[in-house]
Structure 1
Amino acid sequence: MYDTILVATDGSDAADRAVDHAVNLASAFDADLHAIHVVDTTRYGKSVLSGSDDVLEALEKQGRDVLETVSERADVAVRTKLLSGQPDTEIDAYAEEIDSDLIVIGNRGLGAGAAGQIGSVAERIVRTTDRPVITC
């Protein structure tokens, strides 16, 4: 049913649930599992990121740490990739690049928001991608 599964993570609790679910699905279907973290360069604005490499380097290190944790927790092989840009756009583009059969994403990321509501990135992915999406 699934040959290639993509899980996007930002290290939030919901993303951790998504990772667990994606790992379980990859194991059950003997599927290739890809995990990505997108450094949201749109959140901070060009003036903040262009003024200092330290900010971008810190965000990239945080992303690498999140992906390393995914690899350590998984009992299946995981291909990881760190990307930068607008998260929903990068997630969908990478899903297309690897011809993913499924995208698994947390229903709410690190951004603040009302409890019980789907987050903006998850909502845009569900609304715009042409692939099946599971939110956790």
Structure 2
Amino acid sequence: MYDTILVATDGSDAANRAVDHATDLASSFDADLHAIYVVDTTRYGRPVLSETGGILGELEGRGEEILEDVTARSDVDVTAELRSGRPDEEIDSYAAAIKADLVVLGNRGLESGPNEHLGSVAERVVRTAGRPVITA
């Protein structure tokens, strides 16, 4: 049913649930598992991030650590992808590039409020993805 699964993560509790779910699905369907972390440069603006020197590097380093954690705790091989830009656009672009059959992501990320049932990135991915999406 699924040959290629993409899981998006930001290290939040919801994203960690998504990683667990995506790993289980990949194992069950013997599917390729890809994980993506997107440094949200739209939040701060690329010019601001590049002017402050180490901030972009720190954000990318955090993304690399989160992706390493996904790889370490998954019982299937994981292809990790670190990107910068608008998260929903980068998730969709990468999903298209790898021809993902399914996208799995947390229902809300680090910046979502406790009363939000669906965060803005998850909402945009669900609304615009040209493939099935599961939120955890």
TM over 0.5: yes
Q: Which residue of structure 1 aligns with residue 80 of structure 2?
A: 80
Q: How does 1:58-77 map to 2 (within 5 A)?
A: 58-77=58-77
Structure 2 residue identity aligned to 1:37: Y
Structure 1 residue 47: Cα displacement: 4.3
Secondary structure at the counterpart of residue 58 of structure 2:
helix
Q: Which residue of structure 2 aligns with residue 104 of structure 1?
A: 104
Structure 1 residue identity aligned to 2:85: G
Structure 2 residue identity aligned to 1:102: L
Q: Which residue of structure 1 aligns with residue 95 of structure 2?
A: 95
Q: How does 1:95-134 map to 2 (within 5 A)?
A: 95-134=95-134
Cα distance between partner residues in 2 of 1:20 and 1:37: 15
Cα distance between partner residues in 1 of 2:64 and 2:38: 10
Structure 1 residue 46: Cα displacement: 3.4
Q: Which residue of structure 2 aligns with residue 39 of structure 1?
A: 39
Structure 1 residue 70: Cα displacement: 0.2
Count of residue pairs the alignment pairs up:
136
Q: Which residue of structure 1 aligns with residue 10 of structure 2?
A: 10
Structure 1 residue 50: Cα displacement: 2.6
Cα distance between partner residues in 2 of 1:8 and 1:31: 16
Cα distance between partner residues in 2 of 1:54 and 1:87: 21
The two structures have a TM-score, normalised by structure 1, of: 0.97
Structure 1 residue identity aligned to 2:78: V
Structure 2 residue identity aligned to 1:88: D
Secondary structure at the counterpart of residue 2 of structure 2:
coil
Q: Which residue of structure 2 aligns with residue 56 of structure 1?
A: 56
Cα distance between partner residues in 2 of 1:63 and 1:24: 22
Secondary structure at the counterpart of residue 39 of structure 2:
strand
Matched residues, percent identical?
Answer: 65
Q: Where does structure 2 lack aligned partners over 5 or more consecutive residues? A: none
Q: Where does structure 1 lack aligned partners over 5 or more consecutive residues? A: none
CA RMSD between the two structures: 1.0
